[in-house]
Chains A and B, each alone.
Chain A
Amino acid sequence: MATDRTLLELKAVSKSFGQTPVLETIDLAVRDGEFITILGPSGSGKTTILRMIGGFIEPTQGSILLDGQDITAVPINKRPFNTVFQDYALFPHMNVADNVGYGLKVRGVARAELKTRVGQALELVQLGQFALRYPAQLSGGQRQRVALARAIICQPRLILLDEPLAALDVELRRQMQSFLKDIQREIKTTFLFVTHDQEEAIAMADRICVMNSGRIQQLGSPHEVYYRPRTEFVARFFGDNNLVEGKLAAIEGRYRRIETALGSLLCATEGQPELTEAPAGRRAFAVFRPEAISLEAPRDGNANHMPGTVATVSFGGASTVAAVHLSSGSGVRQVRVKMPSQVGGARIGAGDRITLNWSADACRLVLA
């Protein structure tokens, strides 16, 4: 269970390779027992964070604290963390049991205890009958589980996972996601999981730390980063969001109006004081998710609605996505509308003139 106690803290940590900064000054606190995901595109600095925590690279500046103690200078093999590497990094000359027991063996754990604990770890990852196989004889998913067992057997304070599922195919990845989550619940250890896959992050994390170009863009629950993006990057990163640029206007209670080329939109601001503090006329984006848009007439007065023309309708399995040209006001803009698919086919077709409605609560603002 995640607690509010801070396990690990990065304080004003930055990293440059030569003259190239890869990580701007960042602060990050990892809570004890949580599943925290660092999410970002490649080159965003997410792996750098993981490698600094693991001790594989040193921060250029700043310090890393474990339980309040500075561990910045502690070498890799003395840190109570274990890593699941992207390509597993299993020792090819050792069988599964020896791989898993490695961490205990180098600590000089007695043979009998080692055997019991290796057995337990292998049972935990459901690989009991594979103890004598070599890594080359295992499938990708099995290797993954060996790597996990090897990392958890030393009972580390924190397990670092560096895009561990990237090499697996979609189906296996889904299974491993819930498997990892189950294991994390069972052993009650803090997991720091690095990925570039938003869906994976949302499916697994207690908290997501979204990174871009060496900066933390947003840190929050999956629900928060999905529905209340704080930056344009986060708004664009999760799914095919609709962003409409405009200028901030009047505050109306919990809402704030934004004047866009398409007309005026009403957006929710709760939980984000920076949106009410920003001066009128400030450039911003109205952000609304494709699935939040409805074709039905609004039931309350706080809704945004705009007429448009359907450009394309594409069937995508569970949902159908329509691209709609909005042409109110002075601008033309295409937005995506996502609807649950129906047996009888979509209710709208290309060329239909429709009205889009979305509630002000489903419309957020990010400052440009």
Chain B
Amino acid sequence: MPPSAGLERRVAGLPVKSTGEDAVRRLAAVAAYGLPMVFILVPLATFLVYSFFWVDHTEMHYDVSLLNYRRFFAEETFLRVFRQTCLLCLEVSFLTILFAYPVAYFLAGLTGRKKYVLVMMLLVPLLMSYIIKIYAIRSILGGNGFLNRALLATHLIDEPLTIFVFNLNAVLLTLTVLLIPFAILPIFLSLERIPRNLLEASADLGASNWQTFTRVIAPLSLPGVIAASTFVFVLAIGDFLTPQMVGGQSGFTFGRIIYSQFGAAFNWPFGAALSVILAIIVILAIAIGARFGSKQGIAL
């Protein structure tokens, strides 16, 4: 082909820079920014708007008021459940980290194929239905469940305990078990990212294994721990299915209150207001996590 043929530059017959490319790229950019806007921000904004409406005897009033928010801060029940739920989710975070760290550490210590096979197995529960998992855990915790039978068999107790199911303990245990994989992964990744020569350097400078762990490994895996606890906290606080299914009467959480506003109480504006409050807590948790994470976030 003569070099001056056509306006486009072509290599091996294909246009190097086509006019269509810009249009496609622009479309992709619109999709990349637009879709999250439409599917995440718009619903959230709708909720925010709804939270300022109010309901009087099943009748919606579409005028702006702070009634719902005032109600939340005025009624002790809501505040108490709110505090209780935050506390519960902090406990869940703490417990999951407690279990997840040793597991992640063990995984990071493995070599070769074993390691990745085990990590894959860890991901299997994430592919399973949430409800099935809750049922499974409920049957473990129940009166005739595995836990009670095991305790009976070892003669630690004489009759089945009821403290494991249909209360806040059950919610705590179930959420912990359900969310452990979400905690293991970030911790595992942060441990994996620690350059091994730092451990060698630490030992070379005379540190014992324990000193290397406390002075090098623990601080360098802290971003992973913070990410994990943020994950778990956010997932736990938004959960209403687990408390619904294993919480019984006493295991009342904030998520359940919100759920009931949309169902039984049929007070969407109040439910929306409570959701906004929950969203603020979630955003706060993520912000705190990001702040601490980046403070420790070291450019390796």
Q: A residues engaging B (CB < 8 A)?
A: 54-56, 75-78, 81-83, 85, 87, 89-93, 102-103, 105-107, 134, 136, 150, 154
Contacts and interface: CB of A to CB of B under 8 A. Distances in A.
Given A77-B206, A106-B206, A89 B300 contact: no
Contact of A92 (B205, B207, B215, B298): B298
B296 A93 contact: yes
19 contacts: A56-B204, A75-B203, A76-B203, A77-B206, A77-B208, A78-B206, A81-B204, A82-B204, A85-B201, A89-B198, A89-B201, A92-B299, A93-B219, A93-B296, A93-B298, A102-B202, A102-B215, A136-B298, A150-B205
Interface of B: 195, 197-198, 200-208, 211, 215-216, 219-220, 296, 298-300
Given A92-B220, A106-B211, A77 B204 contact: yes
Contact of B206 (A89, A136, A154): A154
B246 to A, nearest CB: 40
Contacts, number: 67
A26 B204 CA distance: 24
B203 A89 contact: no
B61 to A, nearest CB: 55
Given A106-B215, A136-B298, A91 B198 contact: yes
Contacts of B298: 92-93, 134, 136
Given A92-B198, A102-B215, A106-B207, 7 more contacts: A76-B204, A87-B195, A89-B201, A91-B202, A92-B300, A102-B207, A136-B298
Contacts of B219: 93
A45 to B, nearest CB: 19
B149 to A, nearest CB: 47
A195 to B, nearest CB: 18
In the A-B complex, list the 7 residue pairs whose CB atoms are closest, starting with the nearest: A103-B205, A89-B201, A92-B298, A106-B207, A76-B203, A89-B197, A136-B299
Contacts of A107: 206
B220 A93 contact: yes
Contact of A89 (B200, B208, B211, B299): B200
A106 B197 contact: no
Contacts of A136: 298-299
A267 B300 CA distance: 55
A78 B300 CA distance: 28
A246 B208 CA distance: 58
Contacts of A76: 200, 203-204
Nearest to B223: A93
Contacts of B300: 92
A84 B296 CA distance: 25
B197 A87 contact: yes
A106 B205 contact: yes
Contacts of A90: 201
B98 to A, nearest CB: 23
Contacts of B202: 91, 102, 106
A24 B208 CA distance: 32
Nearest to A85: B197
A107 B208 CA distance: 10
B16 to A, nearest CB: 35
Contacts of A103: 205-206
A154 B200 contact: no
Nearest to B208: A77
A91 B201 contact: yes
Contacts of A54: 204
A86 to B, nearest CB: 8
Contacts of A89: 195, 197-198, 200-201
A181 to B, nearest CB: 23
Contacts of B206: 77-78, 103, 106-107, 154
A91 to B, nearest CB: 6
